[in-house]
Structure 1
Amino acid sequence: MTDDDRSPEEEFQEMLRQLLGGQGGLDPEQLQALSAMGMDPAMLQSMLSRMQGAFASGSDEIDWSSAKTQALHLANQDGRGITSGSQHDLEQAFTLAALWLTEATTVSSLPTPPTVLTRGQWVEASLPVWQELAEPVANSIADALTEALQTQTPEEMRGMIAGAGRMIRTVGGTLFAAQLGNVVGRLSREVVSGGDVGIPLMPAGQASILPQNFADFGRDLEIEADQLALYLATRELAHARLFRHARWLRLHVISQVTDFARGIHVDIDALEDLASRFDPSSPHELREALESGALLPQRTEAQTAALTRLENLLATIEGWVDVVTADAASRLPAADRVAEAVRRRRAVGGPGEQAMASLVGLELRPRRLREAAAMWRAVTDAVGVGVRDSLWDYPDLMPTADDIDDPNALVARLEARARGEQPAPDAMDDALAALLRESGPPDDPPTGDDDASGPHPV
C-alpha cells in the first residue's frame, strides 16, 4: 500500500508512531492531514519537542520546563526592573531591621545579606518548591486523564491509539505544568517578600523583598514608605532567621504539605465527563478545569485532619514572627497599622494564591494566626525572650495545637521547668509508662557468683 492509499486513521497512527518513537517533527503534508481530522497542528507542534524528549528518554515523568517558561513570561511582562533608589532604600531598611531584631529575639542573625529580587528572580528561586508541592497532584491528574480518555474511546477506535497512552499522559502533564507556571507567574506579581505565603520558598537563611510588589502593596495604605519598608524588612528577616535557626523546620513544613497533596485524588466522574467532549484542538476547557479545581473532589477526613495540622503549624510559625516583629518594630508610629494590613492580606489572599489553592487543592492561609500570636505573647510576657525562643531548638519542644487553645497550660509548664520542677506527665508519658509496665522488668544479668561456680560444660 502506498502513502496515498492510507486512510486518515492510518495517517494518524503513523504520526503517533513518529511522535512516540521520537523520529522528528511533522512535515507539511502531515500537518495538513491533522487539520483535516479537526486537530490544531500549531497546538500539537508546540508540545512536540517536550513530548519527544519524554518519549526518547522512556520516562513517564512530567516535563516541568513549560511551567518555568510560562511563569517567567508573566513575571517579566511589564518590563519593570529595580531602580537603584528602591534597592538602596530597602537595603538600608534591612540593615536597621537587623539591629532591632537583635533586641527582640535570641535567634541569631543571618550569615548572608538580604537581597532585593525582581519578579523573575523570585520565580527562579521559588519554582522548585512549587513543583515539589504540585507534583503529586499533577501525576494524579495525568494518570486519571489517560484512564478516562481510554475509557471514553469507542471499542472500534482503540486500535488507533494503541501505544499512545504515554502521549496522552504527557499532554495532560504538560498542560498541568503550564497551568502551574501560569499560577506562579501571577503569584510573582503579588508576593512582597520571600516568606510572604508562609512556606519556606527561598533557600535557607535567605531574606528577600520584591521592590516592584512592595510599591504596589503600599500604594493605598497611606503609610510612609520608609516605615512600611522597615516593618516588612523586619518581618522578612524574622521569618528567615527562624527557618535558619530551626533547621528541621523547613523539612517539617514541606513534608506536611506534600503528605496532604499525596492524598489528593482526581474526581473520575468529572474527568470522564470532560474527556467525553475533550477536543485536542481546543484544550482551553481542560486548562480551566485544572485551574478552577473542578477535577479535585471534596477532601477526605484524613486530608481534613492533615490540613488542620498544617494550618496549626503555619499559624505557630507566623504567630512567632508577628510577635517578634511587633517588638522589634515598636519604635515605628505606624507599626500597628502595617501589622493589621499584613494580617488582613494573609487572611484573604490574592488572586494568585487563590488560584494555587484551586490548582493544588491546598490553602496556605493560617486560620488561627491571631490565637497563635496571643500564645506567643503570653509566653514572652511570662518567661521572657530566651525561654520563648528555646522552644524552637528541637521539634518536640515546639508548641502544639493544644497550646494554642490553652496558652496558660504552656506557660505553667515553662515556669515549672524554670523552677527545676518535673513537668506533669502528659498523654504520651502515660502511654509510655503503661507500655513499660506491660513489658515487665528485664531479666537479671548473671552475677559474678554464677561465673565462679565452676567450669562450664563444653
Structure 2
Amino acid sequence: MSSLPPDPALPDPDDEGSRPGPDELAKMLADLVGDPSIVDNPQIKAALSAMGGMDLDPAQLAIVRQQMEAMFSGPTPDGPLDPAQATDMARRVTAASGDTSVSQADRKALGEAVHVAQLWLDQATDFEAAAAAPQVWSRAEWVEATMPAWIQLVGPVADGVTGAMTSAMRGQLDDLAEHGGLEQLGSVPGMPAIPPGTDPSMLMSQMGPMVQRMSAMMFAAQTGQAVGTLAGEVLSGTEVGLPLLSDHAVALLPQSIAEFSEGLEVDPAQVRLYLAARESARSRLFTAAPWLAAALTSAVQAYARDISFDVDAIAAKVQGLDPSDPAALQQALGTDLFATEPSDAQRRALDRLETALALVEGWVDVVADRATRPHLPQAEALGEAVRRRRATGGPAEKIFAQLVGLQLRPRRLRDAANLFAALESEGGAELRDSAWAHPDVAPTSADLDDPLGFVERVKQGASDDFDAALAAWLEGTETGASDETPDDDPSNGPADGPADGSSDGPRNP
C-alpha cells in the first residue's frame, strides 16, 4: 500500500513530539484559503483543539489537507462534474468487486463468436455491421470507454444538484443573518472571521465556487460509484439499451458472461454466440439509424433537466456537515435527493424513453432470434433467460435510479417484439426494418397498444404516399397549364406536346 508523500508544511512524522497543534493547523488553513489572519484567530484555534486536531498524526493531517485544498482552493470545475474523478471512482469500485484481465483465450473465443454472429445476422437483416473492430473488455475498460456517454447523460442532473445545494446554502445564510448568527460561521475551520452585519449575498458570492466544487466532487463520486457497480453486471457494451459507444463497436465482457453462464444449463459456447448476436444486432441498429442515438440521449436529458429537488431535505442534510469531508457529503446526499412526483414534461420524456428502449430491445429480440435459432439449439431458452434478467430489475433500472431518479422498468419489451414480428410476418425483414427509416415513421407508445393497426398503416403507407404524390403532381400540372400557358394564347407556342394539341402523355413538371 503506497503512502502519501511527506508534507513540507507538517512536522516530521518520526518525531514523537511533533504532533501538530492548533498553531500548525491554523497555518495550514491560512495557506489554503489565502488569509493570514486565520493564524491569529483564537476562535479557529479553539475550534481546532475541540476537533481533536492535536491527536492527528502527520499522515492523517496530510489527507485532511488534500481534501480541504480540493474543496476550498481547488480550481472551479469546467462542467457539473469531473470526468477524471468519476472514472477513478468507478475503477476503484470495479477493482474492489473483482476485475480480471482479459486472457488471450477469452479474446480469441469471443472474437470468433462475434465473427460467426455477424455472418448469421447477414441472413436476418440488411442492416450492415459497424465499421469498428469488435472489442473484448475487462470491466475497467468498459468504464473507460463508456464514461464520456454517462457524463453527457447525467450532466443535467449534476447541474440541478448544484443549483439545489446553492439554494439550500443561501437559505441557511439568510436565516442566520435574520437571527444574528451569521458571524458564528467564522468559527468554522477554513472560514475567515465574519464581521457583524455582513450581507449574506456578498458571503454567498464568495462561497459560490466552494459550493460548486462540493457539488462536482459529490456527484462525480456518485456517478463513479454507480457506473462502477454497473460495470460488474453488464454483459456487453450497450446492454443497457443506450448508445454508450460513439463508434457503435461490438463489445463483450468475458468475466460477466462467464458468471451469467454459470446459472444456466447451457453450453458456454452457445451463450457466447447468442450474446454476441444480440450485441452485434444492437450495434447494427445504432449504425443504420443514426437518429436513434440522438433521440435516446435527448429523452434522458429532457427527463433529467426537469428533475425537481427537495431543497428543504438537502438543507437539512448539508447543515452540520464537515465541508472537508466529501465522503460524508456524498453519503448524506446520495439518497432521497429527488422529488417524488414527476412533472408533466418528465412524464412525456419518460414515455418517449421507455418506448424507444422497448423498441430497441424488441427489435434485437426478434432479429437475434431469427439469426441464432437455426444454429443454436438453446436459442429460445437463452432469449427467455435474457428477458427474465431484464424484467427482474436489470442494470439499466439500477443506474437510472441512482443517477437520474428514474425507475426504468422494461414493461413493454414483449409488445415491441410482437410489433416487429407482425411487421416481419406481413412483409419480411425489409418491412420490419423499415420502421427505423426515420423518426417520423417509428412506432409510438400508442402503436405498441395496437401493433396490428400499425402494421396495416405501414402497409398502406407506401401506396398512400405514392397516390398522394401523384395527385399533387397532376393537380400542379393542371394548374400550371391553366394559369401559365393558356391554350387560347397562340403567342405561347406549343408546350411539350404536338402543335395540334394532342398529347403523348403527361408533361414533365
Q: Please, what TM-score do these two structures have when normalized by structure 2? A: 0.74
* Aligned match of 1:361: 405
Shift of 1:327: 0.6
* Aligned match of 1:434: none
Is the partner of 2:440 in helix, strand or coil?
Answer: helix
* Aligned match of 2:345: 302
Encode CA deviations 1:47-86: one digit per residue, 9 max, x unaligned.
Answer: 624764424x8x5753332211111112234351112212
Counterparts of 2:330 and 2:125, CA distance in 1: 46
Pick from 64, 77, 87 the counterpart of residue 83 of structure 2: 64
Contact 1:234 1:328 in 2 (8 A): yes
Shift of 1:312: 0.6
Alignment of 1:401-412 (within 5 A): 401-412=445-456
* Aligned match of 1:219: 262
Contact 1:105 1:324 in 2 (8 A): yes
Are positions 1:372 and 2:397 aligned together?
no
Aligned residue pairs total 420
Alignment of 1:319-338 (within 5 A): 319-331=362-374, 332-338=376-382
Contact 1:292 1:359 in 2 (8 A): no
Are positions 1:164 and 2:214 aligned together?
no
* Aligned match of 2:505: none
Does 279-288 or 268-277 show the bigger shift? 279-288
Counterparts of 1:168 and 1:18, CA distance in 2: 20
Q: Over aligned residues, Cα RMSD in angstroms?
A: 3.7
Unpaired stretches in structure 1, ≥5 consecutive residues:
1-7, 426-440, 453-458
Pick from 104, 110, 129 the counterpart of residue 84 of structure 1: 104
Counterparts of 1:34 and 1:200, CA distance in 2: 51
Change (3 A) 1:333 1:399: same
Are positions 1:120 and 2:149 aligned together?
no
Shift of 1:282: 5.3
Encode CA deviations 1:85-108: one digit per residue, 9 max, x unaligned.
Answer: 121111111111111101111111
Pick from 177, 183, 190 the counterpart of residue 220 of structure 2: 177
* Aligned match of 2:354: 311
* Aligned match of 1:456: none
Change (3 A) 1:310 1:157: same
Encode CA deviations 1:310-361: one digit per residue, 9 max, x unaligned.
Answer: 1011101111111000110103111111111111112223578525413321
Contact 1:16 1:164 in 2 (8 A): no
Change (3 A) 1:276 1:330: same
Unpaired stretches in structure 2, ≥5 consecutive residues:
1-21, 54-59, 192-202, 469-478, 492-509
* Aligned AA (2:378): A
Encode CA deviations 1:94-138: one digit per residue, 9 max, x unaligned.
Answer: 111111101111111222321101111100111111111111111
Alignment of 1:190-229 (within 5 A): 190-229=233-272
Does 182-191 or 83-92 show the bigger shift? 83-92
Identity of matched residues, %: 38
Change (3 A) 1:417 1:139: closer
Encode CA deviations 1:410-446: one digit per residue, 9 max, x unaligned.
Answer: 221233345x345999xxxxxxxxxxxxxxx9xx999
Q: Please, what TM-score do these two structures have when normalized by structure 1? A: 0.81
Contact 2:227 2:399 in 1 (8 A): no
Contact 2:372 2:379 in 1 (8 A): yes
Is the partner of 2:120 in helix, strand or coil?
Answer: helix
Are positions 1:389 and 2:433 aligned together?
yes
Contact 2:83 2:147 in 1 (8 A): no
Pick from 303, 323, 326 the counterpart of residue 280 of structure 1: 323
Change (3 A) 1:194 1:363: farther
Bigger Rg over Cα: 2
Counterparts of 1:137 and 1:337, CA distance in 2: 39
Change (3 A) 1:22 1:405: farther
Alignment of 1:96-111 (within 5 A): 96-111=116-131
Is the partner of 1:396 in helix, strand or coil?
Answer: coil
Are positions 1:264 and 2:283 aligned together?
no
